[in-house]
Amino acid sequence: LKVSQGIINDGTILLQSSNNTYRSDINTGSGTLTNLGTITSGAGSGGERLIVGTLNNQATIAADADYLDIEGVYQAQGGTITGPGYLVNCTLQETASPASPSTILVSDTTTTLATDNLPGYTLWVQGSNHHGDTILKLAGSVANRGAILLQSLNSTYRSDINTGSGTLTNLG
């Protein structure tokens, strides 16, 4: 699914292949996909599940397949991701706390935290077989007002934070 301008999801979007291992992806281009409904990544018959571009999540993303990768800009505006939904090569902007505790999975070495980590969010910096070592970078000085978990899911993959020239202040 390619989006040419900003679009709002008020219903349900299902990313799922019905036969073979075909890709089921969303590409927002230069626009923003604002999720007010549900985006579900179903296992189906396999294949890649990917959202690329700018995703403003105010509701639910259900990663029910092996995984769902989100690349580009992820705006956590109170929304949640359930299951193995990973931020990969992504800029994370948290603008509103979730109504109930929510975990954001970070994978790979190219994801950047651009804002404070807000109350209610746990950032799990997760090294794993999925993308190997994981290093969360900071765009500048930010505060942790929620929780940050540095833990490898399997094997001995790194799960680190690189503050660069910024400062991480722990208030959580």
**Model pLDDT for residues 114-157, shown as the tens digit of each residue:** 999 999 999 999 999 989 999 999 999 999 999 999 999 988 99
Spatial contact of 151 and 118, defined as CB atoms under 8 Å apart: no
Single-letter amino acid code for the residue at 104: I
Q: What angle do CA 136, 133, 82 make, to 5 degrees?
A: 65
- List Cβ neighbours of 66 (8 Å cut-off, separation of 6 or more): 43, 46, 49, 84
pLDDT for res 6: 87
Spatial contact of 117 and 144, defined as CB atoms under 8 Å apart: yes
Question: Roughly how many angstroms between the first and final C-alpha of the chain, as a whole number?
Answer: 38
pLDDT at 1 over 80: no
pLDDT for res 172: 82
SS (H, E, C) 123-171: EEECCECCCECEEEEECCCEEECCEEEECCCCCCCCEEEECCCCCEEEC
Sign of the alpha-carbon torsion through 149, 161, 138, 88 = negative
pLDDT at 45 over 80: no
pLDDT for res 64: 87
Distance CA 31, CA 164 (A): 30
Percentage of the residues of the chain whose pLDDT score is greater than 70: 99
pLDDT at 107 over 90: yes
pLDDT for res 5: 81
Spatial contact of 91 and 74, defined as CB atoms under 8 Å apart: yes
Mean pLDDT score of the chain, rounded to an integer? 93
pLDDT grade for 44, boundaries at 50, 70 and 90: confident
Token digits of residue 55? 């995703």
pLDDT for res 3: 78
Span 75-88, average pLDDT: 97
Single-letter amino acid code for the residue at 92: L
C-alpha distance from residue 66 to each of 84, 102, 143 (Å): 7, 19, 32
For the chain, how big is the Rg over CA atoms in Å? 15
